[in-house]
């Protein structure tokens, strides 16, 4: 059964940084299919979703139709690798990721339909933009407030300060690798439930972030499970596998709190 098909603007619950078992890099960690994540997200009231697999856009019309049947607008997207190791979220570009492997290539190929977001920019690690964002803030439409944080440790603060200086919107996403992460950190977007309207609303800053830190136990589980699954590969289910069975989700965090950049 589909949700309300109202096409007028309203606040839409969105997760636009998610991986799955089709991810070329993280398929060993993410043991759920795109359909399973869509079904889980629909059950939690999400109306916007994007799969941002590493250097691969898995969006198809069939998958988008499956999402629509559950009240979700599916945004084409991917997490591209630039400057050899850094990550950038690019939505609705239609480009081969090899044509987006530097910041200048993204700048040259992005058009008015494209959204470019800096994910977890000042977290430790070679995949984070750090100085690249500071030197090229004009390239990015928004900065991510990452859901991977724990009480007392939050690497998002520097990104929020930079967003304030450059008048950039802040969007909160979960960087989903496990289904239990859904419902913790996400963004409300004031838009029509259409791809173009949603991306334009993000660019305008018509967004509100809701964020819940992971508990220390959840963070430890995230890392330990990820390492275990990488060390001991598991054959992920194919796209044709039944999608009715959902991996058990659990959400043990604290009550949600608004983030005001």
What is the domain partition of the chain in residue ranges? Answer: 10-259
pLDDT, position 47: 98
Task: Tell me phi and psi for residue 253, to 5 degrees.
Answer: -75, 180
SS3 (DSSP) at 152: coil
Cα 219 from Cα 214, distance rounded (Å): 6
Cβ atoms < 10 Å from Cβ of 199: 24
Report the pLDDT value the prediction gives residue 3, as an integer from 0 to 100: 56
**CA-CA-CA-CA torsion for 156, 158, 161, 163, nearest 10 degrees?**
-70
The whole model's pTM is what? 0.88
Residue-level pLDDT at 232: 81
Please identify every stretch of the chain with a pLDDT value under 70, giving residue numbers as ranges. 1-5, 234-261
Considering only CA atoms, which of 223, 215, 224 is closest in space to residue 152? 215
- Sign of the torsion formed by the C-alpha atoms of 203, 205, 208 and 211: positive
Q: 10 Å Cβ neighbour count for 242?
A: 9
Nearest CA to 186 out of 167, 212, 166, 161 is that of 212
Instruction: Tell me which fold the domain 10-259 belongs to.
Output: TIM Barrel (3.20.20)
Cα–Cα distance list, 39 to 51, 69, 115, 128, 240 (Å): 13, 10, 25, 30, 15
């Amino acid at each position: 059964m589909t949700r309300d098909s109202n096409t007028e603007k309203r606040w839409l619950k969105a997760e636009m940084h998610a991986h799955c078992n089709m991810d070329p890099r993280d398929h060993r960690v993410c043991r759920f299919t795109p359909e399973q994540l869509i079904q889980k997200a629909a059950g939690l009231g999400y109306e916007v979703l994007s799969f941002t697999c590493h250097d691969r856009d898995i969006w198809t019309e069939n998958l988008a139709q499956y999402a629509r049947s559950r009240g979700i607008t599916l945004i084409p997207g991917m997490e591209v690798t630039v400057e050899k190791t850094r990550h950038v979220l690019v939505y609705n570009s239609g480009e081969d990721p090899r044509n987006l492997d530097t910041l200048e290539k993204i700048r040259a190929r992005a058009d008015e339909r494209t959204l470019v977001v800096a994910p977890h920019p000042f977290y430790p690690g070679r995949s984070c933009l750090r100085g690249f964002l500071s030197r090229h803030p004009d390239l990015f439409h928004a900065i991510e407030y990452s859901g991977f944080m724990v009480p007392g440790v939050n690497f998002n603060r520097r990104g929020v300060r930079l967003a304030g200086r450059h008048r950039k919107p802040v969007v909160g996403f979960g960087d989903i690798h496990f289904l239990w992460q859904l419902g913790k950190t996400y963004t409300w977007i004031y838009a029509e439930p259409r791809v173009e309207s949603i991306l334009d609303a993000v660019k305008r800053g018509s967004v509100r972030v809701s964020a819940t830190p992971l508990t220390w136990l959840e963070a430890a589980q995230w890392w330990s499970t990820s390492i275990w699954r990488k060390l001991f590969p598991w054959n992920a289910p194919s796209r044709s596998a039944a999608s009715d069975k959902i991996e058990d989700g659990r959400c043990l965090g604290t009550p949600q709190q608004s983030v005001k950049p």
